[in-house]
Amino acid sequence: MQRRVQVVRIRTTPPAMSVMLGPRSTLIAMAMTVTMAVALAAPGRALAQAPQAPAPPTGPPPVWTGSFGAGLAVTDGNSDTSNVNVAAKVIYDPMNPNLALVEALYIRGSSEGETTVARTALNVRDDYSLTPRISLFGQFRYLRDEFKGIEYLAAPGTGISFKVVNLERTKFNVDAGPGVVWEKNTGVDSTDTSGAITIGENFAHQLTGTTTITHAATGLWKTADFDDSFFTVSAGLAASLTSRMQLKVEALELYKSLPPPGKQSQDLSFLTSVVYPF
């Protein structure tokens, strides 16, 4: 019996992603290429390895789920440091059209006894499903990054979300909508206020019963000056160590097209953490 071999041709940087990544995101683009290649190759490999599927849950799914993680981060950009990161994620799903999400990330580092990194990020979002694939959402994003010169960036907004792929092992969502942004930078007395347009995408694929790859990207453009934009991009791999613990490796990029004077546009962080799902 002859085996048929399927050849998959992959473009190194999809056009839609190249806009989201920004001009200096070579490492993230490479990470995305590897991520998508592994995702496409996974089904054949999964069949060959025949991973043991987890036992089906008993009873109704929990209303509250989430995770908590902490670990080491190595940052290259406006500062080169070793630091710690703490991340939390909480999802409230009452099995009705509403689904609420809260995500938080805190990175802090020091070098020779001096604090060198202090970043806080928060995202609060509520989705209301109109159909199995389409939903409306409202969200609030907050960022404080001392070494990028951002005292605070607050961006509430609304929009529409579409589930492009909604399979048991693979999820891919895109969303877009209008909003408002307030930004206060170090050394500037006034707060910059503008309307905003945001777009985003979120991808997750379960390679095996214990391994998952993730990718997310968001872009924000100020309507007062479309040259003033802000991007976040991430790509990660999580593998279960035990039934209650995961090891996660993630690349996280922040890119600001018009940074404050003396600051770089790009900050790239590599995070390694131990995650406890609940």
pLDDT tens-digit series, residues 71-121: 975 666 666 667 789 999 999 999 899 999 999 999 987 776 677 778 999
Summarize pLDDT for 190-213 with one digit per residue, the tens: 999 999 999 999 999 999 999 999
Residue, of 239 and 5, whose pLDDT is higher: 239
Phi and psi for 248 in degrees, rounded to 5?
-125, 135
Q: Which pLDDT score, from 0 to 100, does residue 58 have?
A: 67
Listed by start position, the domains of the chain span 15-46+64-277
Of residues 53, 62, 124, 89, the one with CA closest to residue 236: 89
Is residue 252 helix, strand or coil?
Answer: strand
CA 262 to each of CA 27, 147, 149, 153, 258: distance values in angstroms, whole numbers, following the listed order: 23, 10, 9, 18, 11
Q: What are phi and psi of 17, to 5 degrees?
A: -70, -35
Tell which residue, 34, 54, 107, has the closest CA to residue 273: 107
Tens digit of pLDDT for each residue in 10-55?
333 333 343 344 444 444 444 444 444 444 444 444 434 444 445 5
Architecture of the domain made up of 15-46+64-277? Beta Barrel (2.40)
Q: Which two tokens stand for residue 165?
A: 């792929």
